[in-house]
Amino acid sequence: MKLSPLLILCLAACHCVPMAMADEPPTAAELAAKLNAAVLDNASTVRLKMDIFPSAGAEKVVLQLKVNARRTKAATDVHYEVLWPKDRKEGSFVLRKAAGQSATGAVFHPPDSVKPLTPSQLQEGIFGSDLAYEDVADNYFAWERQEIVGGETVNRVPCQILESRPGKGDQSGYSRVRTWIDVRRMVPLKVEKYGANGQLVRRITITLVGKDDLNRAIPANFTVERPGRESRTILEGSNIKHGVTLADADFSPAILRAGAATNSQPE
């Protein structure tokens, strides 16, 4: 079974845990708290296959990625590294989002340049995909304002729609996020993200739900689309591992040069 951490991901932010059904449906605060606790799963590593479809008729781009992540209440750190093809090392990056602060990070540019990510780049797609830098670090389940705004069936599964909005202490490029949650398995099946102007910016559709190494239901495969654009990105995860040892150095800008030097050596 192929697995992913995300919405690591986004997506980081769609790790899920089982929850017994009660007589009364869970409140918005209860839903958000359960999902937030699952996102904060400490250190993990995962392999991702990313298929980027730039537009109708354009050639598909395929990338194999390694993602190291460390997600705690204090901060989220991620390191995305291109493993294949080796001539696509550009774009490997590290990102940090401390609680209540905007994300910061750095991107590797061959042959040996590491440049900081600017605030305006956070909504740009990683590796030219439809998934933004901010998507892989934001945890909207921890935002101050949570509300159930309705219910809808997704792929024959009844879902509660949780709307998350940032409060005064939350920093995000999104004004609100709606998540369609399968409450029985406590797993998101669809996510919609809205920009500061209130328009829909990104839609994430989970196409496969699997189990991770902790036996939790998680989105395994998902598709990212931007309304009004022909492009789409499909991600498939595998070999997720928790409990790995990761230090601050594994998320420093220096790790980008070190990884590029290692991968450039002849086999």
In a domain, 9, yes or no: no
Res 6: pLDDT: 46
pLDDT value of position 263: 56
Instruction: Please check whether residue 15 lies inside any domain of the structure.
Output: no
Boundaries of domain holding 257: 28-263
List the alpha helices (DSSP H) in 160-246: none
Domain assignment present for 169: yes
List C-alpha distances in Å: 267 to 3, 86, 262.
28, 12, 10
170 strand-pairing partners = none
The CA-atom distances, in angstroms, between 242 and each of 13, 81, 140, 222, 257 are 15, 18, 22, 21, 25
Kindly report the CATH number assigned to the domain that includes residue 166: 2.50.20.10
Q: Which residues pair with 71 in a beta bridge?
A: 42, 76
In a domain, 103, yes or no: yes
DSSP state of 199: -
Q: Is residue 119 part of a domain?
A: yes
The verdict on residue 185 lying in a domain is yes
pLDDT along the chain (267 residues), means of 10: 45 45 79 95 96 89 96 97 82 93 92 92 95 96 97 96 96 96 95 96 96 92 96 94 96 88 52
Q: What is the dihedral of CA 57, 62, 68, 71, to 10 degrees?
A: 20
Looking at the structure of the chain, the number of domains it has is 1
162 occurs within a structural domain: yes
Q: What is the pLDDT of residue 265?
A: 47
DSSP at 162: E
**Rounded distance between C-alpha atoms, residue 98 and residue 173, angstroms:** 15
Euclidean distance between CA atoms 20 and 184, whole angstroms: 7
- Residue 4: the pLDDT is 45
Cβ neighbors of 193 (< 8 A, separation 6 or more) are 135, 174, 176, 177, 200, 201, 202, 203, 204
Q: Is residue 11 part of a domain?
A: no
- CA-CA distance, 212 to 191, in Å (whole number)? 20
**pLDDT at res. 264:** 52
Two structure tokens written together for 80? 């995305």
Is the link from the previous residue into 85 a cis peptide, with omega within 30 of 0? yes
Instruction: State how far the Cα of 154 lies from the Cα of 212, in Å rounded to an integer.
Output: 22
CA 33 to centroid of chain Cα atoms: 18
Q: What is the phi/psi pair of residue 136, to 5°?
A: -85, -5
